Every structure is written in structure tokens, then in C-alpha cells.
């Protein structure tokens, strides 16, 4: 098993922006002497002052002792030329996302550092293989992708290019763990783990908006309150910036040769064209400002009197919800969405008063539930279903009748993409769940979530979405098919 770098070893960080200064802070707190370089000396001085302030805030909050903070600050030194990295055991690059710039930097470093020094790139989108292709010793180049803000975010993707030596990747992995991070190994493929697997979180929301399932505030509320996500997709895109988010989507889409699963959205393209980039411009899906009120999510009016409706289905989520609702029966029949629209299911099963509910992370504790009604459904049946959930303490939100609703189709697509990443050797099943929880704060890893829903139900959702849209975008991962073929009744991913 590889050992982490000795704490007495020097770590050099090239680039003193938000990522570089964050990496320098983490390495210094872990006990390393850190040398920080930037082509602009004043930027290094500003970064070191910022690190001092960040450490002081940790002391004020009681998260670090004053003596420990002072020692960490004293370990960070300004480098005035790259030559000062000559005795570094690890050099981490955090400069502009440009292949030629990174190649030139590492070519210079090769002539400076010792033969045992590991070179690491913090790239979030460029192939590690391509960056190292022109090095004399590409085997010592490793991706070390941190997430912003570096001191707070636990994930580090340790990326191996085609030429990367396993020992170098293992040392970086062990070092990241020693720095208090949750590292995961990944192969150098477009988007690595997080930026690939996360695409459906944005893509499905944008399609829901395009199809008028609901307004952004309502979809965001459903994803937060029903799905347990920390931020809804629209508020998250506004925070990231639509120029950045759209650019990453385009990059992954083109890198996978136009795979429709990663297709950009015309909705987001229009925001970029308009210059409505989110919080940083004061307008995106939402408007921002001191005098601007955020729009409220849709909620059904309260229904009076006893409400009766039948909760159908034998899936795991429905079983948990029945424990909260009791054994009510009535004209309306309510099912967990299976990827069909309520209208289609009503036709298929001869139940005109069909109502669907969206996936819930925790049916026992959820405060909101999203429902969709078949076009054939009577008002009386709808009102009864709404009343039933309101009596159980839910705020009821109506989505228009789109296939798969919001949380279910998103989680099914996240799990499907995660399964493909595992199937294609990008990472392990455990790594993908760690990455999505620690890198983007998902409430549950997508594969563990698929297990909790039931793999057969996830398969059914994807198959029905594919049938509804007639698009390859919703094709089922071969690994999911294999799991079900091996054990049709009790298939699980068994993430460890």
C-alpha cells in the first residue's frame, strides 16, 4: 500500500488563484512546507494574506488553535521563480484551463524538479493524458482535482492518464487522504467522475422547464424538499454561472462525440446569449438584488374534509409511504412514477383516475410531495388525493404530466450514468458514490439510491422514458441490464 508523502517534504503550488491558494492552505495545515508561485508576484502576496485571514477565521470559530494556525501560515512561502521548486516532492498546478499553457508549464518543471518529484494537475476538464503526452516522463503526471472551496470540500479526484504510473497515483491518493480529504481514483476520461455523472442533474431539469412541467422555483423546491438535494438545479446553475455550466456541458458533449445523453439545452444557451449568467450578473433563472423577492413554489390549496384515495404499487418507496399515510382507499389510484406519464398509465391500465407521485428521499420525513394527474382524472379524484397527502403533513405541489416527473427521472439518469462510468472502468462503484456525495453534496450516492429504489424500478423508468421520447439519451446501461439478468428479483449494486 502506497504511503503518503512525508510531512517534511516540500509541496509547490503553481497558480495563486482561489484553487491554488486553497490547495496551498490545505497542504500547509497538513504540515508541509509550501511554496506558492504565480507569474504575478503581487498575486502571490495577496494569496498568502488571504490564507492568513482564512486561518484566523478558523481560530475565531474554534476550529483551529491559534498556535496551529500560526505554524500553518509560517509554512507558506512565496516563490519568485519556478527554480525554487527544485526540491519539491510534489508540484500541483492550478493555472488557467488551457492545454498549451499547462504543457509548457510542466515541460519547464521537468527541467527543474528532481527525478522522484510527482507532478500533479488540478485540471477539471482537460485530459491528463493529453497534458502529459509531450513530457519526457509522462508516467509521473497525475490529476489531482480539488473542488472549490478547497479547504471545505472533501473530494479529490485522483486521475490517471494512459501513461500515469500506478505508484504515483497511489502516492497522491494517500497524500490527499493524509490531508483530510476523501480521494477517489478515476481514469482520465471526459468529465472524470463528477462533471460527467452530474450532467443529468442539470439536463433533466432544463428539459422539464422546456416542456413546461413547472416553473424553476417549483422544480427547485421539489428537488430540495422531495429529493433532499441541498440546492435545486436552477439555483445551482445560477450560482455556478451559466457561461461556466454551459461550457462544461458543451465540452463533455463534444468529447463524447455528440452523445445525446450530454446534449446542451437551448434554454441555457438563450440565457448565455442574453448575458443572463446568474448571480454574478444579477439575473439568470432568477433575478437577484436587495429589493427582489424570490418566487414561491407552487402549492395546491388546502382540501377540506376527510380524503380517501388508494395508494397502489408494491415498490420500496410506496411501502415506506404507506406507513405514513395508512390504508386509505378511494376513487383515485396513486402510484410512484415509473417513467410513463399519468395519462399514458391511465390508458394502459384502464384507470382514468390515475395520479402519480414523485420519488421521495425519505417518505417518513419529507415535507413536500409532487403529484401529477392524468388528463382523464376527475377533479374529485384529484382533490381527494391532494387532501390525503395534506392530512399526512405534506405540502402538495402539482407538476404537469411529463414522463418520469422530476426527482425520479433525474435520479434514474444519475444512477444510469454512474453505472456506465463503472462499466467503462472510469472508477469503482464505491468511488462514484463518494464522489457525488463529497464533490457535489448529493444526499445519497446515485448507486446506493438506485439500490434503495430497486434496480428493476430504475430500469423500468429508463425504459419508459426511452419509449416516451424515442431517444437514445435514455438508453439503459449495460451494467444495469447485467445486474438484472443475474438476479431479476433481488438485483443490487452493493456499493461498499
Catalytic residues: 124, 145, 157, 195
Instruction: Give the strands of the sheet with 118-121, arranged side by side.
Output: 76-79, 33-37, 10-14, 88-93, 118-121, 141-146, 155-160, 182-187
Cα–Cα nearest to 370, from 298, 474, 308, 311:
298
128 conformational bin, left if phi > 0, alpha if psi -120 to 50, beta if neither: alpha
β-strand 309-311 against 182-187: which pairing, if any? Answer: unpaired
β-strand 395-398 against 368-373: which pairing, if any? Answer: parallel
Q: How far is CA 301 from CA 84, 298, 367, 394, in A?
A: 68, 10, 15, 12
- Determine the Cα–Cα distance for residues 247 and 181; give it in Å rounded to an integer: 28
- Determine the Cα–Cα distance for residues 52 and 45; give it in Å rounded to an integer: 11
- Determine the Cα–Cα distance for residues 368 and 224; give it in Å rounded to an integer: 9
Q: How far is CA 111 from the centre of its chain?
A: 38
Ordered alpha helix ranges (H), 211-358: 216-225, 233-240, 242-255, 266-274, 316-325, 342-349
- Determine the Cα–Cα distance for residues 426 and 147; give it in Å rounded to an integer: 19
302 SS3 class: coil
Amino acid at each position: 500500500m502506497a504511503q503518503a508523502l512525508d510531512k517534511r517534504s516540500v509541496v509547490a503550488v503553481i497558480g495563486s488563484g482561489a484553487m491554488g491558494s486553497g490547495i496551498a492552505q490545505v497542504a500547509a495545515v497538513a504540515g508541509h512546507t509550501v511554496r506558492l508561485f504565480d507569474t504575478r508576484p503581487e498575486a502571490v502576496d495577496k494569496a498568502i494574506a488571504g490564507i492568513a485571514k482564512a486561518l484566523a477565521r478558523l481560530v475565531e470559530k474554534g476550529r483551529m488553535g491559534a498556535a496551529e494556525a500560526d505554524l500553518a501560515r509560517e509554512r507558506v512561502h512565496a516563490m519568485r521563480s519556478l527554480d525554487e521548486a527544485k526540491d519539491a516532492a510534489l508540484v500541483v498546478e492550478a493555472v488557467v484551463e488551457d492545454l498549451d499553457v499547462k504543457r509548457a508549464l510542466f515541460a519547464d518543471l521537468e527541467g527543474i524538479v528532481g527525478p522522484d518529484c510527482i507532478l500533479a494537475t488540478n485540471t477539471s476538464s482537460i485530459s491528463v493524458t493529453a497534458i502529459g503526452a509531450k513530457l519526457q516522463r509522462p508516467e509521473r503526471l497525475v490529476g489531482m482535482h480539488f473542488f472549490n472551496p478547497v479547504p471545505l470540500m472533501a473530494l479529490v479526484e485522483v486521475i490517471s492518464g494512459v501513461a500515469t504510473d500506478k505508484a504515483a497515483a497511489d502516492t497522491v491518493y494517500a497524500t490527499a487522504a493524509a490531508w483530510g480529504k476523501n480521494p477517489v481514483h478515476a481514469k482520465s476520461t471526459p468529465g472524470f467522475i463528477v462533471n460527467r455523472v452530474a450532467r443529468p442533474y442539470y439536463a433533466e431539469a432544463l428539459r422539464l422547464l422546456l416542456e413546461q412541467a413547472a416553473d424553476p422555483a417549483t422544480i427547485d423546491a421539489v428537488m430540495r424538499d422531495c429529493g433532499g438535494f441541498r440546492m435545486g438545479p436552477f439555483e445551482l446553475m445560477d450560482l455556478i454561472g451559466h457561461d461556466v455550466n454551459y461550457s462544461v456541458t458543451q465540452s463533455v458533449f463534444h468529447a463524447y462525440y455528440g452523445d445525446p445523453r450530454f446534449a446542451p439545452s437551448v434554454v441555457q444557451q438563450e440565457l448565455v446569449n442574453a448575458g443572463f449568467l446568474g448571480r454574478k450578473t444579477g439575473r439568470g433563472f432568477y433575478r437577484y438584488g436587495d429589493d427582489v423577492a424570490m418566487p414561491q413554489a407552487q402549492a395546491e390549496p388546502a382540501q377540506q374534509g376527510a380524503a380517501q384515495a388508494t395508494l397502489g404499487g408494491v415498490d420500496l418507496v410506496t411501502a415506506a409511504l404507506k406507513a405514513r399515510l395508512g390504508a386509505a382507499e378511494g376513487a383515485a389510484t396513486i402510484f410512484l412514477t415509473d417513467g410513463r406519464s399519468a395519462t399514458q398509465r391511465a390508458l394502459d391500465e384502464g384507470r382514468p383516475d390515475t395520479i402519480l407521485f414523485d420519488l421521495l428521499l425519505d417518505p417518513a420525513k419529507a415535507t413536500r410531495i409532487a403529484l401529477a394527474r392524468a388528463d382523464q382524472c376527475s377533479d374529485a379524484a384529484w382533490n381527494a388525493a391532494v387532501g390525503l397527502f395534506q392530512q399526512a403533513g405534506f405540502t402538495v405541489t402539482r407538476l404537469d404530466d411529463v414522463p418520469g416527473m422530476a426527482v425520479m427521472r433525474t435520479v434514474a439518469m444519475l444512477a444510469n450514468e454512474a453505472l456506465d462510468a463503472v462499466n467503462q472502468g472510469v472508477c469503482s462503484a464505491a468511488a462514484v458514490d463518494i464522489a457525488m456525495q463529497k464533490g457535489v453534496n448529493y444526499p445519497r450516492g446515485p448507486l446506493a439510491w438506485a439500490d434503495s429504489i430497486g434496480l428493476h424500478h430504475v430500469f423500468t423508468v429508463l425504459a419508459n422514458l426511452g419509449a416516451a421520447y424515442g431517444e437514445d439519451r435514455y438508453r439503459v446501461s449495460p451494467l444495469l441490464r447485467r445486474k438484472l439478468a443475474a438476479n431479476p428479483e433481488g438485483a443490487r449494486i452493493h456499493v461498499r
